[in-house]
Structure 1
Amino acid sequence: MLSLNGTIINHPNFILLGIPGLQEVYLWLSVPMCSIYLATLLGNGLVLFLIMTEKKLHKPMYLFLSMLLTLGLISSTAVMPKLLCILWFNLREIAFDNCLIQMFIIHSFSAMRSAVLVAMAFDRFIAICNPLRYASILSNKIIAEIGLIVLVRGVALIMPFPLLIQRLNFCRTNVIFHSYCEHIAVAKVACTDISINNLYGLVVALLVSVFDLVCIALSYFLIFRAVLKLQSKEAHYKALNTCAAHICVILIAYVPFLFSLLTHRFGHNVPLYIHILLANFYLLIPAMLNPIVYGMKTKEIWDRILKIVLKRKVHFDN
């Protein structure tokens, strides 16, 4: 552990410890981590390409999906290259400014992802409860405004994180017990009071998770109430089937988050590597699974993928 020997340094280079306790299996651990990242790049890239090139997919639902996939790509790329450098080459040092940039991207894009899930719930609510006005309510202009709100909220909520870190002094150590620059993990390295960091971090976590989950729950309450008023079981199935992919994505996003949050707050006897793995999975697994879920559950995307695969098969056969 590299010590600063009591010398106060405002902006030190940090050392990311990686995943403490698993150093002996770093090479083996890099295999699933690298596979997750490659699957994320391939899956998200493919679905984004389909949405951009297929006019039939230029609909509100798919525009929101493209926002979600883009956020997943960027947040994964903010984490994985540095993590792989640690696992493969033991390159653990990160400059102070780069650490703040990584922190801002990870936290702000996580907040944006949660807001996009709210927007997607609103989209499903309009599609089922007010289908005749769906296109007029969710026009391209409204979708652009929603996207701007998502961006501004994410930036406004997370911008204080790097500012709060900049005010701290570091004199004990520059070793961060994490695989990336998570806000509280960096703040804990400081030798000055971090109560404001802790308080604001908790406020943001509650504001994002609780507020967004309440909005999503309210949307689905209204959706299920409207579905129950439908006469036929076939209509029930058709209406709920339009929500299946989004419900799966919500579970994929929030279950790892809640596990990570509960483990961090109450799992004091849980090994540190479990905390760090959960924090990584919260960022990486949803980004990998989102395109798979929508590819499997959404007929228009699945049909387009099959068309591309069959065309390639015919081309190779000829």
Structure 2
Amino acid sequence: MANKSKRYFNSLSLGSDSEDAIHRFPAENHELRLGALCDPDAFWDFGVTEGIKALSQRYVGDSFPERLPNTTSYLKLHGPSSAEGYLTLFYIGDPTRTQNEEAFLIRMAMKNVTSHKHFILDGFGELGALRPVLFLPFSVMFVVSLSANSLLLYVVVSRRSLHSPMCVLIAGMALVDLSLPVFFVPHMLLSFLFDWRGISLTGCLVQMYLIHFVAAFQSTLLVWMALDRYFAICMPLTYHEQMALPKFLRFIVPLVVRNILMISLFVSLAGTLSFCASNVVNHCFCEHMALVQLACGSTAINNLVGLMTIFLNPVADFIFIAASYVVIFSSVLKSGNSGAKALHTCVTHILVIMASLTISLVAFLSYRITNGLPAAVRVFFSTMYLLFPSCFNPIIYGMRTAGIKKHILRTLTC
């Protein structure tokens, strides 16, 4: 029965946006139920807002049971009040009406649905009164991230002896790790402490762009570090020539352009969606999938571009990094000398790579595997994906890089 009704509505000339919206609207306080009178049990639900009620009042007035003018469709309001009820819209196959005329009312209804422009960031909302307790651990991590990365960046910039290509790349990682928490942690801490959860759609998209754009450079910098180790170990005689900026730009420009294009694409696509069901984002910041899940239109393209971004950015980067280290260790084993030094040089980067890869995979998979996984767990891993490396990386690089460690200790003891 459901298939018969579905075929009926698919035959209408709705256009892709309206048709997708009919299938994807999640039920909310109101429901618009569509079904052919010849098959009244076959219908499906999607949320509506004041725009639908305004449209029905425009055609049939406040009483609602009257037949719409010049059509065979009916609108009825059910329930104890308009705020708690739902509208039922039946289309009858009348040979005097064309499919386009019948579809026109649906398209007009879809245009009258109001899209939210203000959102509530409700990450860890399940904790209720215990939510403010999260202020303490996250504020400690924020302070550690800011202080450790600022110290590492200061030491590398101020010491001329640390201006080698690898130390410059480590400073670049410190800059990324310093900037990333600034875009979301202050707002998150205020939300925990004072319950300030609101954010505009524009502010949400700007925050989303900044977070994902800067985070993309974490794996990109690891690629550049892997190239540095490759040239240093496998091509030592031409190392300085290969790592000179004019020549190394051939590795910098393509990855920077890739990051800009991919992040701009999926954020701009998210900005074109209509959010007419719920405006509560179950996250502490505007994460891409958390916002897209609230859309009432088709999100197939958004999901596809999001997966493409994951594959072309962190996944492709980690595949390249893994391949480069396989070549590096093969070269070390064949040469038979300087193996211990090469291993020590690479272990620092491997530790950072493994930590970043593990937590990023858990964060991405948590939004694809939702069965039985509490929302708070998804929010936690997604937040740690951004915040943990910012605390972990400067400690690893500061402690395991001899030159940097020596200058950090000298700076702290002065």
Shift of residue 143 of structure 1? 4.5
Q: How many residues align?
A: 308
Shift of residue 134 of structure 1? 1.1
Match of 1:88 among 152, 169, 193: 193
Equivalent-residue separation in structure 1 for 2:287 and 2:365 (angstroms): 16
User: Is the counterpart of residue 302 in structure 1 residue 346 in structure 2?
Assistant: no
- Secondary structure of the residue aligned to 1:94 is strand
The corresponding residue for 1:44 is 149
TM-score, normalised with respect to structure 1: 0.91
Runs of 4+ that moved beyond 6 A: none
The corresponding residue for 2:39 is none
User: Is the counterpart of residue 63 in structure 1 residue 172 in structure 2?
Assistant: no
Matches within 5 A, 1:15-26: 15-26=120-131
Match of 1:75 among 170, 177, 180: 180
User: Is the counterpart of residue 226 in structure 1 residue 226 in structure 2?
Assistant: no
Contact 1:39 1:288 in 2 (8 A): yes
The corresponding residue for 1:241 is 344
Amino acid at match of 2:372: N
The CA RMSD over aligned residues, in Å, is 1.8
- Secondary structure of the residue aligned to 2:203 is helix
User: Is the counterpart of residue 286 in structure 1 residue 385 in structure 2?
Assistant: no
Q: Deviations over 1:40-86 (max 9, x none)?
A: 10011111111111111111111111222212222211120111111
The corresponding residue for 1:134 is 239
Match of 1:120 among 205, 212, 225: 225
Equivalent-residue separation in structure 2 for 1:11 and 1:26 (angstroms): 26
Shift of residue 267 of structure 1? 4.4
Consecutive unaligned residues of structure 1, counting only runs of 5 or more, are 312-318
User: Is the counterpart of residue 98 in structure 1 residue 142 in structure 2?
Assistant: no
The corresponding residue for 1:181 is 286
Q: Is the alpha carbon distance of 1:33 and 1:153 closer, same or farther for their aligned partners in structure 2, counting shifts above 3 Å?
A: same
The corresponding residue for 1:316 is none
Structure with the larger RCO, 1 or 2 (CA within 8 Å, 6+ apart)? 1
Of stretches 184-193 and 86-95 in structure 1, the one that deviates more from structure 2 is: 184-193
Equivalent-residue separation in structure 1 for 2:271 and 2:250 (angstroms): 32
User: Is the counterpart of residue 275 in structure 1 residue 319 in structure 2?
Assistant: no
Shift of residue 240 of structure 1? 0.6
Q: Is the alpha carbon distance of 1:201 and 1:34 closer, same or farther for their aligned partners in structure 2, counting shifts above 3 Å?
A: same
Q: Is the alpha carbon distance of 1:48 and 1:150 closer, same or farther for their aligned partners in structure 2, counting shifts above 3 Å?
A: farther
Aligned sequence identity (%): 34
Equivalent-residue separation in structure 1 for 2:166 and 2:198 (angstroms): 41
Matches within 5 A, 1:187-198: 187-198=292-303
Q: Is the alpha carbon distance of 1:49 and 1:36 closer, same or farther for their aligned partners in structure 2, counting shifts above 3 Å?
A: same
Amino acid at match of 1:210: V
Structure with greater proportional helix content: 1
The corresponding residue for 1:154 is 259
Contact 2:49 2:114 in 1 (8 A): no
TM-score, normalised with respect to structure 2: 0.71
Consecutive unaligned residues of structure 2, counting only runs of 5 or more, are 1-27, 30-47, 52-112
Q: Is the alpha carbon distance of 1:165 and 1:54 closer, same or farther for their aligned partners in structure 2, counting shifts above 3 Å?
A: same
The corresponding residue for 2:49 is 5
Amino acid at match of 2:271: Q
Shift of residue 147 of structure 1? 4.1
Of stretches 135-144 and 118-127 in structure 1, the one that deviates more from structure 2 is: 135-144
Amino acid at match of 1:237: A
Amino acid at match of 2:279: N
Q: Is the alpha carbon distance of 1:132 and 1:51 closer, same or farther for their aligned partners in structure 2, counting shifts above 3 Å?
A: same
Amino acid at match of 2:396: V
Equivalent-residue separation in structure 2 for 1:249 and 1:203 (angstroms): 24
- Secondary structure of the residue aligned to 2:277 is coil
Equivalent-residue separation in structure 1 for 2:362 and 2:127 (angstroms): 20
Of stretches 70-79 and 94-103 in structure 1, the one that deviates more from structure 2 is: 70-79
Equivalent-residue separation in structure 1 for 2:249 and 2:405 (angstroms): 26
Q: Is the alpha carbon distance of 1:143 and 1:237 closer, same or farther for their aligned partners in structure 2, counting shifts above 3 Å?
A: same
Q: Is the alpha carbon distance of 1:145 and 1:42 closer, same or farther for their aligned partners in structure 2, counting shifts above 3 Å?
A: farther
The corresponding residue for 1:314 is none
Structure 1 or 2, whichever has the larger Rg, is 2
Shift of residue 146 of structure 1? 4.0
- Secondary structure of the residue aligned to 2:335 is coil
- Secondary structure of the residue aligned to 1:229 is helix
Amino acid at match of 1:246: H
